[in-house]
Chains A and B, each alone.
Chain A
């Protein structure tokens, strides 16, 4: 796995203009830490590519990978 770097959970950013301070603080600091299928950022070093992996954080099984924003076009 060492050619891949973990980039953290993929989180939808709230609209900075309309969200409350509290919502923004939650976006910045809080995480969905419970086990399960999660969208995550991963970076493939040799090809220099970021992608989203849907990974079960309990079993470590990856069920889907795609470039951010292109999941529909799969």
Chain B
């Protein structure tokens, strides 16, 4: 047992301080206001304070921190994307994640388990090679592997998928990881708070005050706050915020669902994704299988679950793992994914001065939490977006310069 735990047994009072203060009444004005207390908003607050010394910052969260998609996601972290700009960006995030537990002084259970994207068809194999080649080029560890290597890493997998869709190979990405989603939000909140950032829960932004094209304040359920820098990091709520400042974006909201099984002794050590079967699965350190599928087929601003989803998902899970027939699903849930047409985020400045956007995270944004926080903090502090996120600018749609991630769609966590 690690010695660090000794103090809990030896002291009478629980020797742990609050992670973050219980802020209730916002001040009259802040140097920056961040809408959304998910991983992204909290990370941006943290890096504003840490990298730029901007600590007079309020994070406004209408529910509780981490309660949006951050706390609902299936936590796959990887960087094996298709375009060099995508790979570079996510790779920077993976590298930050690797040291984040130490940096935030909290165990995020960042667990590098290896990630297999299974290919059941020729054309899927081609896409795997494409990704592998681009990844290698950028210096990210990815390669195409055959069924044998997949079986070695996961002997329980039925390579023929019960004869329904035989696996031809996979893209193997050794850095693929999972982490404790809540802890990421809490860790950023804790350290941001320590540096002076104020986090307000149960505080909803209801309007943004723009005068002559510049942000001057926000209306909230706790009153008006003056500020000339606002970051929107609200994922599934983005269209409601951009509507407040009259900015058009391509973002549409589709529910994304997931479920977990009852706990069993860990046997699945890797992360498996199958585009053709629309499933992905990993096993948490509690022993639960965490399973997800593709997006719900139509636009919806709701987090309700559907039976269709679990039916489709489980029918494919038994194709892959026939022996799971009598293992039970304990709980299903949904989040609201903010989708873009090219499966890449929208980050950076907007036509409204002082209004910054961090959105379009769809089904893939958890892995980007550290790097998006860091780059958005820089964008806000300097009022210039760093090169790393240039390809994700809002104007790319007007310019017909969409990112090429469109090529590698399907189940893209």
Contacts and interface: CB of A to CB of B under 8 A. Distances in A.
> Do any beta carbons of A and B sit within 8 angstroms of each other in the complex?
yes
Interface of A: 1-2, 5-6, 9, 22, 25-26, 29-35, 38, 40, 57-60
Interface in B248-276: 248-253
Contact of A30 (B300, B308, B397): B397
Contact of B252 (A1, A26, A31, A58): A31
A6 B298 contact: yes
Interface of B: 238-240, 242-243, 248-253, 297-302, 308, 338, 341, 397-400
A29 B240 contact: no
B308 A34 contact: no
A29 B253 contact: no
* Closest A-B pairs by Cβ, 9 of them: A33-B239, A6-B298, A29-B397, A35-B301, A34-B239, A30-B248, A25-B398, A33-B252, A33-B251
Most B CB atoms within 10 A — which of A33, A38, A40, A59? A33
B299 A57 contact: yes
Contact of B240 (A5, A9, A34): A34
Most A CB atoms within 10 A — which of B250, B298, B397? B298
B398 to A, nearest CB: 4
Given A34-B240, A58-B301, A26 B398 contact: yes
A3 to B, nearest CB: 12
B302 A60 contact: yes
Nearest to B254: A6
A31 B250 contact: yes
A40 B250 CA distance: 16
Contact of A57 (B248, B300, B338): B300
B253 A2 contact: no
A44 B308 CA distance: 18
A34 B243 contact: yes
Most A CB atoms within 10 A — which of B341, B398, B400? B398
A25 B400 CA distance: 8
A22 B62 CA distance: 35
A30 B397 CA distance: 8
B301 A30 contact: no
A1 B298 CA distance: 11
Contact of B302 (A9, A25, A32, A58): A58
A33 B399 CA distance: 20
A15 to B, nearest CB: 18
Contacts of B338: 33
A2 B123 CA distance: 27
A33 B253 CA distance: 7
B248 A26 contact: yes
Given A6-B299, A34-B240, A22 B398 contact: yes
Most B CB atoms within 10 A — which of A1, A6, A31, A60? A31
Nearest to A31: B252
Most B CB atoms within 10 A — which of A26, A57, A58? A57
A26 B341 CA distance: 13
16 contacts: A6-B299, A9-B252, A22-B398, A25-B397, A25-B398, A30-B397, A31-B249, A31-B251, A32-B239, A33-B238, A33-B250, A34-B243, A35-B301, A38-B299, A57-B300, A60-B302
A34 B253 CA distance: 8
